[in-house]
Copies of this chain bind each other. A is one copy, B any other.
Amino acid sequence: MSKLGLWLIGARGGVATTVIAGLAALSRKLVPCTGLITDHPQFSSCEMPQAEQWVLGGHEIRSGSLIDSARAIEADSGSLSLPLIEMIQSDLEQVDRRIRPGVLVNADEAIRGLNGQQCNGDSPTPQEALERVTGDLNEFVQNNELDGLVVVNLSSTEASLKDHPAHQSAIALQEALFEGDSTAFRSSTIYAMAAANVGAAYVNFTPSAAALIPATREILEEAGCAYCGSDGKTGETLVKSALAPMFAQRALQVMSWQSYNMLGDRDGEVLAHEENKSSKLASKGELIHEILGEDVHSQVRIDYVPSLGDNKTAWDLIHFKGFMGHRMSMQFTWQGCDAILAAPLVIDLARLLAHAQRRGESGLQEHCGIFFKSPIDSSTHALSAQFDELMEKAQIWSSTSTSE
């Protein structure tokens, strides 16, 4: 059985820790596959990678250990239990040894302000950062004799980056790199370029827009890498993507859709900064207008409520008109644990992209729209349509399976 690498940017964050603990628990048959889309029977003949095939590593800018992260999760949302953490302790320690210090390139204030950074004094040029990250990835592949590699960006949402001419093409970006013009980069840009350097698939699971700009997409495509993004569709936006089509299908006229999101984890702390929040809001907001039209009064708010921790709570109000112009309303409350909702999607994406790479399918993975709030070049945000697209892909893969 071949070995595959999964490299997580933000490797000791809540989502990454849950991914790492989850793959360990799946390998040891301690938990079922709840939450994994690629566990649908449609994928059963696709020979998707198994939990025990994965070797994990990653970058992290903060110090600490995965055990600490796992215990912090237990105390916060209770989504990892103490007995489980004990059972997988050796796995966590092993992965911990493969985590390398992350890089900070043109980082914004919120990111720089995160507690417990191990790379504070460190200000590499973009070129130096790229070399270091590429080196780390190469070392990971060689040390572990990997047959494939998927890099997933799970780091905190960056403030949006001012448009820069170098974003428009591979060649212009490489020139900016050469010239040391750090204003063309965020850390996420560097990670995407490093993935291309080593031929790894790349997933932008965050809303950070600097990760998949036209230039990095071109670089990934030229390097034959599969990629997709952006911003994992985990909770309230997921519900919207299931509900909004109902109003469209039934020809009910939505007048207003108000979305209030509350969260208290590190993600929330970073999003309390207006510049970082704006990246997220843009990502969350586009769905309603795409599905229901431009006339809908739609507002999305995100508030930092520390006591909630990772148990995100969202409340939405939908005010709509029916026949004869009569006004009615619907509201919902979503109470979901973010890392628990995100982690299986990350594992799904790792499986899907590793599989695509193995089949020689590179470039934008268009069938992965269901995983993202802002699917790149998306044809639709509607959940069922996205699900159908993915199942169609499974169907194609099943009927043209390759032998290893």
Interface residues of A (CB under 8 A from B): 18, 21-22, 25, 31-37, 39-40, 77-80, 82-84, 238-239, 242-243, 245-246, 249-253, 255-256, 258, 260, 262, 297, 299, 301, 303, 305-308, 313, 315, 317, 319, 321-337, 340-341, 343-344, 370, 382-385, 387
Contacts and interface: CB of A to CB of B under 8 A. Distances in A.
28 contacts: A31-B323, A31-B325, A33-B251, A34-B321, A34-B323, A34-B325, A35-B323, A79-B324, A80-B324, A82-B83, A242-B243, A245-B383, A245-B384, A251-B344, A256-B308, A258-B260, A258-B303, A297-B307, A299-B303, A305-B317, A307-B319, A307-B327, A315-B315, A324-B343, A328-B336, A330-B336, A331-B332, A382-B384
Contact of A305 (B77, B251, B297): B297
Residue of A328, A343, A344, A387 ringed by the most chain B CB atoms within 10 A: A328
A243 to B, nearest CB: 6
Given A34-B252, A246-B383, A297-B306, 5 more contacts: A22-B324, A35-B250, A78-B326, A322-B340, A329-B335
Contacts of A319: 305, 307-308
Closest 7 pairs between A and B when the two form their complex, measured CB to CB:
A384-B384, A255-B307, A35-B323, A242-B246, A332-B332, A326-B340, A323-B344
A350 to B, nearest CB: 14
A22 B326 CA distance: 12
Contacts of A341: 322-323, 328
Contact of A252 (B35, B255, B382): B35
B297 A251 contact: no
Contacts of A32: 325
Max count, chain B CB within 10 A of own CB: residue among A253, A306, A340: A340
A245 B242 contact: yes
B331 A333 contact: yes
Contact of A322 (B35, B303, B329, B332): B35
Decide if the interface of chain A is mainly helix, strand, loop or mixed: mixed
Given A255-B307, A323-B35, A315 B317 contact: yes
Contacts of A238: 246, 250
Given A243-B242, A243-B243, A22 B251 contact: no
A196 to B, nearest CB: 30
Contacts of A262: 258, 317
A36 B323 CA distance: 8
Contacts of A239: 243, 246, 330
A277 to B, nearest CB: 14
A37 B249 contact: yes
A86 to B, nearest CB: 10
Contacts of A256: 305-308
Contacts of A40: 251
A32 B326 CA distance: 11
A102 to B, nearest CB: 25
Most central of A308, A324, A327 by chain B CB within 10 Å:
A324
A331 B299 CA distance: 20
Nearest to A370: B249
Contacts of A242: 242-243, 245-246
A184 to B, nearest CB: 34
A125 to B, nearest CB: 39
A156 to B, nearest CB: 21
Contacts of A25: 324
A34 B331 contact: no
Contacts of A344: 251, 322-323
Contacts of A305: 256, 258, 297, 299, 317, 319
Contacts of A330: 239, 332-336
B333 A337 contact: no
A322 B82 CA distance: 18
